[in-house]
Amino acid sequence: MEPILQFENVSRSFHKGRTVIPVLQDVNLSVNPLEFLCLVGESGCGKTTSGKILSGLLKPSSGRVLFKGQDVSTLRGDDYRGYRRSLQIIHQDPYASLNPTHTIYNTLSYPLFRHNLVRNRTQARERVAELLTQVDLTPAADIIDKYPHQLSGGQRQRVSIARALTTNPSVLIADEAVSMVDVSIRIGLLHMLMNMRTNLGVTIVFITHDLALAKYFAWDGRIAVMYLGRIVEIGSTPDVIGDPQHPYTRVLLSAIPEADPEKTRSKQHIQLRSEDIPALTDLPPGCAFHPRCPWFVPGLCDVHVPALARVPGAISDADVACIPLTEGVPLALHTP
């Protein structure tokens, strides 16, 4: 199966004065058609930057982005417009992303007219009503002429999702798209996103800092765990969650409370060697996680940058960026 989107050795840096901030480094990633891929990691690890590059809003500093096998930097004219329409991003904050002076009809019909997807107002109203129904804002007639402030937070987020659907995208990138709403509303939104995959045939890239969300909602998909601008583990959700390989994934999972309090009490909480996250402008040599890693191997982890590979003998299907694991060096837990 040809991936719908690919990163080939993608790096991205930003300049602040004379300082160069390496935000993404040498990221390789394939997104398969119709999958639910979750990008997880702590704040600042480069999730939004990855999402923006995936959706074409930002260009990589080096490396290539492929859409259906084609280097997107070579696309021109209709091909380029088609690619940009096929990828839509839902941003985190529906307050900031919806214009308060526009009705829902105005907001949703604008891209329809701009991309020549409707010819007149009657067609536009019909299509907007259909989009509202797709995101479970029903009856659409009650919503279509309202302003954002007349809707609840959950309803506004559904409008943002409907707007992303206006161009019939094949890939939706949901960047913390459910983080701003209450837990009760979050679950409904997540189910809706998952159903879109089957009902509308869209691939979902779901970006979150919350591994617990990935754990519950991306079960038949994959998880990519990011740390300081690199992917450190990527595999099917049940394998990454049920049998985490990379030390960082193990640490993240050990911090998630279980539904059963007894399980939480008996769960081993893995202690980091250091709580301090290195600055992107002052990254440690070798594996960026080594100063915090409880299984750090001196002379190896602080020297060589690990590449993603399978762990020999592991049942998990995940690729992991950890030299001791992928080269079969025995691990010993450092106790602080």
Ligand X SMILES: Nc1ncnc2c1ncn2[C@@H]1O[C@H](COP(=O)(O)OP(=O)(O)OP(=O)(O)O)[C@@H](O)[C@H]1O
Alpha-carbon Rg of the chain, whole angstroms?
A: 21
For residue 18, the minimal CB distance to ligand X (Å) is 13
Q: Pick what 151 binds: ligand X, Mg ion, none; C-beta below 5 to 8 Å, kind-dependent.
A: none
Residues 261-300 that bind ligand X (CB under 6 A): 280
Q: Which stretch binds Mg ion (CB under 5 A): 48-56, 129-137, 184-192, 215-223?
A: 48-56
Q: DSSP strand E in the chain: where?
A: 5-16, 19-31, 36-40, 62-67, 70-71, 87-90, 171-175, 203-208, 222-227, 230-236, 309-310, 319-320
Residues 20-49 that bind ligand X (CB under 6 A): 21, 23, 41, 43-49
For residue 194, the minimal CB distance to Mg ion (Å) is 21
Q: Kindly tell me which of 94 and 324 has the beta carbon lying closer to ligand X.
A: 94
> If we measure between CA atoms, which residue out of 334, 331, 301, 300 comes closest to residue 314?
331
Q: 42-73 b/e with 16+ CB inside 10 Å = b? A: eeebbbbbbbbbbbbebebbebebbbeeeebe
CB 156 within 8 A of CB 100: no
> If we measure between CA atoms, which residue out of 27, 20, 34, 33 comes closest to residue 65?
27
CA distance 151 to 128: 16
For residue 138, the minimal CB distance to ligand X (Å) is 32
Q: Kindly tell me which of 14 and 219 has the beta carbon lying closer to ligand X.
A: 14
CA distance 178 to 271: 30
Q: Kindly tell me which of 115 and 209 has the beta carbon lying closer to ligand X.
A: 209
Q: Kindly tell me which of 188 and 278 has the beta carbon lying closer to ligand X.
A: 278
Q: Kindly tell me which of 210 and 317 has the beta carbon lying closer to Mg ion.
A: 210
Q: Where are the alpha helices (DSSP H) in 255-297?
A: 261-266
Q: Pick what 170 binds: ligand X, Mg ion, none; C-beta below 5 to 8 Å, kind-dependent.
A: none
Q: Pick what 44 binds: Mg ion, ligand X, none; C-beta below 5 to 8 Å, kind-dependent.
A: ligand X
x/- letters, 152..171, toward Mg ion (CB under 5 A)? --------------------
Count of chain residues binding Mg ion (CB under 5 A): 2
Q: Pick what 251 binds: Mg ion, ligand X, none; C-beta below 5 to 8 Å, kind-dependent.
A: none
Q: Pick what 53 binds: Mg ion, ligand X, none; C-beta below 5 to 8 Å, kind-dependent.
A: none
For residue 176, the minimal CB distance to Mg ion (Å) is 6
For residue 58, the minimal CB distance to Mg ion (Å) is 12
CB 316 within 8 A of CB 235: yes
Binding flag, residue 50, Mg ion (CB under 5 A): no
Binding flag, residue 48, Mg ion (CB under 5 A): yes
Torsion angle of C-alpha atoms 155, 157, 158, 163, degrees rounded to 10 = 130
Report residue 165 as tokens: 């659907």
CB 225 within 8 A of CB 240: yes
Binding flag, residue 6, Mg ion (CB under 5 A): no
Binding site for Mg ion (CB under 5 A): 47-48
Binding site for ligand X (CB under 6 A): 14, 16, 21, 23, 41, 43-49, 209, 280
